[in-house]
Amino acid sequence: MAAVAGPWLPPSWIYNSMQTESFVNGVWSEILRSYFPLNSAMTNNHYLVLPEYWVWNNKRTDLVVKHIDGNGNVNNDQTVFAFEGKTVGANFDDTKAQLLYYVKRLQRHSNGKKYGMLGIGKNCAFFYYNGQNLINLVANVGGGVGDYPSPHDIRTYAFGVGPDAECIDRILRYIVDKLET
């Protein structure tokens, strides 16, 4: 029996629709909801994936993940993850600069890190913010997750939604684990 990566990954036919920003954002919204559930039977952590979130000064990112406390209060200082999606062919460096602007303005989570992600067409890249830069998160060959400091070429660390599902799953599980410790 083949292992299925992730709590939920879209059927392969949906990958071809990931050409426009709205489809990119829609697919990733569904994927992120499965990793950051509103009602988690496994933990006491609850999350909410919010679209078009106002971050700062009339600027908004495509999606954020907010941690909700046990009383159901959405707390501004618990915005834990930002996502910026773009159409196929968008410039990775420009999109990364835009994501950096958003992630810098998120309130820091209690574990000291802020997380972000780019989705450009069928490709994606993951980061954490170290207080100055976005650091690439990569799935190590032998298992686990590591980081690669910028300014390495981000395209080297981009994953394809279909072919790299296991790497994407490993990184998202790593982020969730870090948020829950």
For residue range 3-29, list pLDDT tens digits in order. Answer: 334 555 667 777 778 889 999 999 999
What's the pLDDT at 41? Answer: 58
What's the pLDDT at 151? Answer: 46
Share of the chain above pLDDT 70, in %: 72
Residue 74 β-bridge partners: 68
Q: Can you give the residue ranges of every domain in the chain?
A: 15-179
| Count of residues in the chain | 181
What's the pLDDT at 1? Answer: 27
Indicate the fold that domain 15-179 takes in CATH: tt1808, chain A (3.90.1570)
pTM of structure? 0.84
Residue 47 β-bridge partners: 67
Cα 165–169–175 angle (5° rounding)? 145
Confidence of residue 86 (pLDDT cuts 50, 70, 90): very high
